[in-house]
Amino acid sequence: MIVADLARYLAHTTAARSVSVSELRRLPNGAVQENWLLAARFEGGWLAGDRELVLRTDAATTLGIGLSRAVEFQVLRAVRAAGVAVPEPVLLCEDSGVVGRPFFLMRFVAGEAQGERIVSGELGGDRGTLIARLASELARLHAVRPPLRGLEGLAPPPADPARARIEECTRWLAEDGEPHPVAELGLRWLIRHAPPPAPPALCHGDFRTGNFLADPEGFTALLDWEFAGWGDPDADLGWFCLGSWRFGAYAREAGGIAPRDAFYRAYQAASGRAVDAGRVRWWEVMAALRWLVLALRQRDRCLVGGERSLDLALTGRRPAECEFEILALTEAA
Amino acid sequence: MRDRPDAEFLLARAREAVARGEGGELVARARAIAERECAAGDAPVERFRQALAERYGEGGIELLLRRLVAEIRSGAADTPGPVQAALRRLLWRMTRQKLAESNPGYLAAADAGRVPRK
């Protein structure tokens, strides 16, 4: 990334006399997107002063799914307007000439996202308060209903979100080409037990421990909106409870943080919508299948795409977790 | 039966990560997977292949897994009964074996922490 080009662009865009960048370093995490901490002094203009920002851009190779940075920026604006605690979006640059790819800037929010440190209690503060806060952020998000001005970049709400997901997973499994018997079992179970469509809401799409920031006192911000879209709100609840996102604290089924019932009760209280445990269970099986096929696609970025990443290579060994979840969740059903 | 990438590929990426001065925890995970697979050799895959061969006749592991997929797609595992039970036993066996090599911590945590479903 050429810092001088970036500084020139920022000065021009924010009407600053000059911008001096004191720090630009890649932040940890983010296999699909890259996040860079950008510390800079803006002389004049609408961002005048010393600023700590986060520059978010595509990684070298992508999954070929998920939102563009431009649409993710729209989503960030919309959910912030709806009262969801997210980093404030600052500006969007769709010109690949500045840093090599489109990017957006958001204000830096303190906190860390490491799942292990959150489930251990080192980060996130009191467990009951944390799960209630997460449930209320999710309820606020799910109160956003289509259509909404400013979110025209999102695909229209699917008529039947469950069927749409089944079709997507079927296609991805076929594209993979290898035999995945547990995934096939999960797919058949999902087809036979698909719930009727619910009114669509704005969903995060990757709502889980590891995708929000927390400091030792508690939650600070919800991150990683690249898979957001109109869908069934129970999909976010099921994804959050998937075993893969409990970071070893397996018995605390709500994200490794709290018992499942506590999360459901908090969500119900915040949203006014009764949680149907059967529907959420269906979406949890779907979460296991979807994470399985996404892991295969992540793996192919290094096996086929040539990206030399150990993280991506190890993701190729995660489908077995999802297979465990599919078998456990569909037991005697 | 084992998921890709194989141990050799993981070790190659781990060596590159070490050369870049990064990836402590990831490097350890990759090495541990490779060590477990090298120690076990082909025996776990062969044992599972034999279990499949008892049901589907002789053949290589990939061919037999495709036969298992075909039986599942036929709906044989949809309804409770001895066929569903036999197929699920095979699937659990394969899954537990893969986890024992790729992520034994997950297997241990899940076995200890599974909450009975209401």
CB contact under 8 A, B99 and A303: no
Q: What is residue A61's predicted lDDT score, i.e. its pLDDT?
A: 63
Kindly report the nearest CA distance between residue B15 and chain A, in angstroms: 9
Percent of chain B having pLDDT more than 90?
A: 90
Read off the tokens for A75: 């989503």
Flag whether residue A248 sits within 8 Å of chain B, measured between CB atoms.
yes
Helices B82-102 and B104-113: angle between axes, nearest 10 degrees = 130
Q: What is the pLDDT of residues A294-329, one digit of tens each?
A: 999 999 989 998 888 899 999 999 999 999 999 999
Read off the tokens for A220: 């600070």
| Domain hosting residue B57, numbered range | 42-118
Alpha-carbon span A239 to A260, nearest angstrom: 12
CB contact under 8 A, A299 and B33: no
Q: What average pLDDT does this structure show over A171-179?
A: 95
Percent of chain A having pLDDT more than 90?
A: 91
Among the candidates A107, A129, A158, a domain finishes at A107
Spell out which residues of chain A touch residue B14, defining contact as CB-CB under 8 Å.
310
Identify whether residues A235 and A268 lie together within a single domain: yes
Spell out which residues of chain B touch residue A309, defining contact as CB-CB under 8 Å.
13
Among the candidates A107, A123, A147, a domain finishes at A107
Q: Residue A34 corresponds to which amino acid?
A: E
Spell out which residues of chain A touch residue B25, defining contact as CB-CB under 8 Å.
none
- The residue count of chain A comes to 333
Give the CA distances from residue A150 to residues A4, A74, A279, in Å, rounded to whole numbers and listed in that order. Answer: 32, 6, 30
Banded model confidence at residue A272, pLDDT cuts 50, 70, 90:
very high
Identify whether residues A145 and A57 lie together within a single domain: no
Residues 6+ apart with CB under 8 A from A188: B72, B73, B75, B77, B78
Q: What is the pLDDT of residues A159-171, one digit of tens each?
A: 999 999 999 999 9
Identify whether residues A100 and A124 lie together within a single domain: no
Identify whether residues B59 and B26 lie together within a single domain: no
Contact A313, A268 (CB under 8 A): no
Alpha-carbon span A287 to A132, nearest angstrom: 22
Identify whether residues B106 and B64 lie together within a single domain: yes
Identify whether residues A70 and A53 lie together within a single domain: yes
Q: What is the pLDDT of residues A225-251, one digit of tens each?
A: 999 999 999 999 999 999 999 999 999
Identify whether residues B103 and B73 lie together within a single domain: yes
Identify whether residues A259 and A188 lie together within a single domain: yes
Rama region for A248: left / alpha / beta (φ>0; ψ in -120 to 50; rest): left
Identify whether residues B63 and B96 lie together within a single domain: yes
Q: What is the pLDDT of residues A181-229, one digit of tens each?
A: 999 999 999 999 999 999 999 999 999 999 999 999 999 999 999 999 9
Identify whether residues A227 and A162 lie together within a single domain: yes
CB contact under 8 A, B5 and A328: no
pLDDT at A30 over 80: no
Identify whether residues A77 and A128 lie together within a single domain: no
Identify whether residues A257 and A276 lie together within a single domain: yes
Identify whether residues A92 and A188 lie together within a single domain: no
Identify whether residues B54 and B109 lie together within a single domain: yes
Identify whether residues B55 and B71 lie together within a single domain: yes
Q: What is the pLDDT of residues A73-128, one digit of tens each?
A: 999 999 999 999 999 999 999 999 999 999 999 999 999 999 999 999 999 999 99
Give the residue from A148, A9, A155 showing the smallest Cα distance to A80. Answer: A148
**Domain count across chain A:** 2
Alpha-carbon span A77 to A2, nearest angstrom: 27
Identify whether residues B52 and B100 lie together within a single domain: yes
Flag whether residue A46 sits within 8 Å of chain B, measured between CB atoms.
no
For the purposes of burial, counting CB atoms within 10 Å of the CB of A11, is it exposed (0-12), middle (13-18) or buried (19 or more)?
buried
Instruction: Please give the full DSSP string across B20-83, using - where no structure is assigned.
Output: TT--HHHHHHHHHHHHHHHHHTTHHHHHHHHHHHHHH-S--HHHHHHHHHHHHHTTTTSSSSHH
Identify whether residues B54 and B94 lie together within a single domain: yes
Among the candidates A74, A107, A140, a domain finishes at A107
Identify whether residues A310 and A216 lie together within a single domain: yes
Alpha-carbon span A166 to A289, nearest angstrom: 9
Flag whether residue A59 sits within 8 Å of chain B, measured between CB atoms.
no
Give the CA distances from residue B76 to residues A174, B56, B94, in Å, rounded to whole numbers and listed in that order. Answer: 20, 14, 18
Identify whether residues B36 and B71 lie together within a single domain: no
Flag whether residue A174 sits within 8 Å of chain B, measured between CB atoms.
no
Cβ–Cβ pairs < 8 A, chains A and B? 124
A185, A251, A331 ranked by CB distance to B77: nearest = A185
Give the CA distances from residue A101 to residues A57, A69, A154, A190, in Å, rounded to whole numbers and listed in that order. Answer: 7, 10, 20, 38
**Domain count across chain B:** 2
Identify whether residues A175 and A139 lie together within a single domain: yes
Alpha-carbon span A162 to A177, nearest angstrom: 23
Identify whether residues B70 and B16 lie together within a single domain: no
Strands A18-26 and A33-43: antiparallel
Identify whether residues A225 and A100 lie together within a single domain: no
Whether the CA torsion B6, B8, B12, B18 is positive or negative: it is positive
CB contact under 8 A, B110 and A327: no
Flag whether residue A191 sits within 8 Å of chain B, measured between CB atoms.
no
| Domain hosting residue A230, numbered range | 115-329
Q: Can you give the CATH number for the domain in which A73 is found?
A: 3.30.200.20
